[in-house]
């Protein structure tokens, strides 16, 4: 009788171990399935983005003249703002030394010219490859 009880207890313990192992395997399979689904979703999104860009290139999407002018106007406003900031910094530095800017408009035009010349090449060398105006209006 004691031996029968021991055998029953041992079989219950073994069944429980098998059930635990089965549950662990199922949960690990679910995790791998979830990660596989996430990877598939990411690949799908990336492929859709590539397809959209390819479609634009295939149909030779060209923005209208008005859009190009508007993006250029945005870029010029940004350039003027940067020039104004440079002028304020320049004026502050001169005041610290003991000098004063007598014709701020002339200096603003000089800084505007310099920033305008450097703006496009510098911005297009960034990782986004577009100027601020083109990014805002989504123009290639």
Q: What ranges do the domains of the chain cover?
A: 1-60, 62-137
Residue 133, exposed/middle/buried by CB under 10 A (0-12, 13-18, 19+)?
A: buried
Give the model's pLDDT for residue 129: 86
* Tens-digit pLDDT profile for residues 60-82: 678 889 999 999 999 999 999 99
Distances (CA, A) of 76 to 100, 101, 133: 27, 24, 9
Q: How far apart are CA 51 and CA 29, in angstroms?
A: 32
Residue 104 scores a pLDDT above 90: yes
Give the model's pLDDT for residue 119: 93
46-55: which pairs have CB atoms within 8 A and are 24 or more residues apart?
A: none
Give the model's pLDDT for residue 74: 96
Give the model's pLDDT for residue 3: 56
> Phi then psi for 98, rounded to 5 degrees?
115, 10
Nearest to 107 by CA among 93, 86, 92: 86
Give the model's pLDDT for residue 81: 97
* Tens-digit pLDDT profile for residues 6-26: 555 555 555 555 555 665 555
Whole-structure pTM over 0.85, yes or no? no
């Amino acid at each position: 009788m004691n031996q029968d009880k021991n055998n029953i207890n041992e079989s219950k313990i073994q069944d429980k171990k098998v059930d635990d192992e089965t549950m662990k395997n199922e949960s690990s399979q679910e995790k791998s399935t979830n990660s596989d689904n996430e990877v598939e979703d990411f690949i799908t999104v990336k492929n859709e983005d590539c397809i959209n860009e390819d479609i634009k290139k295939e149909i030779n999407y060209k923005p209208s003249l008005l859009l190009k002018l508007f993006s250029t106007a945005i870029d010029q406003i940004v350039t003027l703002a940067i020039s104004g900031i440079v002028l304020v910094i320049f004026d502050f530095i001169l005041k610290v030394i003991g000098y004063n800017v007598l014709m701020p408009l002339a200096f603003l035009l000089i800084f505007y010219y310099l920033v305008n010349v450097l703006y496009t090449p510098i911005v297009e060398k960034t990782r986004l490859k577009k100027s601020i105006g083109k990014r805002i209006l989504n123009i290639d």
